[in-house]
Amino acid sequence: MFAGIGKKKQKLDSMRPLTEGEVARLKEEFLVEFTYNSNAIEGNTLTLRETAMVLEGITIDKKPLKDHLEVVGHKEAYEYVLDLVQEKVEFTEKVIKDIHSLVLMDKPKDRGVYRSVPVRIMGVNHEPPQPYLVPIQMEQLFVQYKEMKQTMHPLEAIARFHVLFEGVHPFIDGNGRTGRLIMNLELLKQGYLPINVKFADRRRYYECFHKFYEEGNNAKPMIELIGEYVEEMLDRYITILNS
């Protein structure tokens, strides 16, 4: 899989650059799809079309304020991620907290703050650490990620970081959205395109976590899922540039 992705990435890198207009259009399309899917996975009730309308500043009648704020917060968080990549900012715990602060626009007291109560991850047979252990485990996770990046293919390291981050579940809410934004931050820094984990694939996505924690840190399902999404985006861009 990695070899095929590498060849397609090389092919895309060798093709003509996208025009400013093409970049803007594709960025807008991706932002709508990414925001819709990432929020929908967490229970947001806005449709794809309604998400696009909210991103344009339109209020959707009879839909909760919370759902609107989640769209706006996710948009600002993704734009912040793009700025981090552009400015080559080091990936740190502060970056994670800053991303989370934007994501959790609807809960000001919990923004960017590690949780102080125990939590459970629905559908996964794994118990996140007690609150007092969260700062310690997050620090250890960064040490572990640094080692993984030195010994693994970038996509494997990113996939493993994602399942481990969600396993710590450092925040009271917004862990999933924050984790997927972090995933795209790290993909972009490695020269890949951002990916969009689809709401329609949520069962498979959750199963990746289940496999990891039930089968002795088996990250293969998550690596394959992320790899497929990366390849899908490469194919999409290559097709656009060939047209």
pLDDT score recorded for residue 220: 97
Local confidence band at 6 (pLDDT 50, 70, 90 cut-offs): very high
49-96 pLDDT, tens digit per residue, is 999 999 999 999 999 999 999 999 999 999 999 999 999 999 999 999
Question: Domains in the chain, start-ordered, CATH in brackets?
Answer: 2-242 (1.10.3290.10)
Q: Are 102 and 76 in contact (CB under 8 A)?
A: yes
Sequence letter at residue 120: R
210 is catalytic: no
Average confidence score pLDDT of the chain: 95
**Which of 154, 153, 169, 179 is closest to 213 using CA atoms?**
169
pLDDT band at 15 (very low <50, low <70, confident <90, very high): confident
DSSP state of 18: P
pLDDT at 96: 98
The pLDDT score that the predictor gives to residue 124 is 76
Whether the Cβ atoms of residue 67 and residue 46 lie closer than 8 Å to each other? yes
DSSP 85-122: HHHT----HHHHHHHHHHHTTT-GGGTT---SS----T
Judged against a pLDDT cut of 90, whether residue 100 lies above it is answered with yes
User: How high is the pLDDT of residue 22?
Assistant: 87
For residue range 176-232, list pLDDT tens digits in order. 999 999 999 999 999 999 999 999 999 999 999 999 998 889 999 999 999 999 999
Interatomic CA distance for residues 48 and 36, integer angstroms: 6
Rounded distance between C-alpha atoms, residue 225 and residue 238, angstroms: 20
Cα separation, 3 vs 155, whole angstroms = 12
Q: 68, 126, 169, 210: which is the annotated catalytic residue?
A: 169
Q: What is the mean pLDDT of residues 162-174?
A: 97
Of residues 45 and 15, more confidently modeled: 45
H helices of 169-218, where? 175-189, 202-214
- Whole-model pTM: value is 0.96
